[in-house]
Amino acid sequence: MGLLVVATFVAVAEIGAKRVAPGSDESGGRYEAVVGTLGDIARTPAVWAISFVGITVLVGGSILLGVGSFGIPEGLAGTLVTVAYLAVGLLLVGFVFLGAYFATRSRGLGNAHGVAAGTLATGAAFLVLVTVQLVVGVIG
């Protein structure tokens, strides 16, 4: 949430900036520099590998601490398992949303179309989950 607030303030600060045509020699400002740097970082395979290992260790460690008998209080053990479930759920929701978003964007449509497709896909997956829960009872 903090990164979202910072990105919002950076974007709002750059709204009034003078727009330049692509290919001109004028600088795009701090916003373009930040977006370019973050884009370069996100396109680095080492960052993806480290993130994957970190998330795997976090989820696996919290599950092991939650279900193992390592001498931690029962309330904390249940909380760790819940945190692991939430992390996996957020990852799945993120994959569904971003998969639909980027599939839409790669077909030449705009950001609004991508967000609409991601929201529709996420909502459809949620409705399928609710239906399966009501019919079969897979959760809890």
Contacts of 59 (CB under 8 A, 6+ apart): 84, 87, 88
C-alpha 43/C-alpha 3 separation (Å) is 19
State how far the Cα of 124 lies from the Cα of 114, in Å rounded to an integer.
15
Structural domain of residue 59, as residue ranges? 36-136
Mean pLDDT, range 17-44, rounded to an integer: 71
* pTM, entire model: 0.61
| 128 falls within a domain | yes
Range name among 23-27, 28-32, 103-107, 132-136 with the lowest pLDDT average: 23-27
Residue count (the chain): 140
- Distance between CA 89 and CA 125 in Å, rounded? 12
In a domain, 24, yes or no: no
The two three-digit tokens of residue 6, written as one number: 């910072």
The verdict on residue 113 lying in a domain is yes
131 is a domain residue = yes
**Domains in the chain, number:** 1
Residue 74 lies in a domain: yes
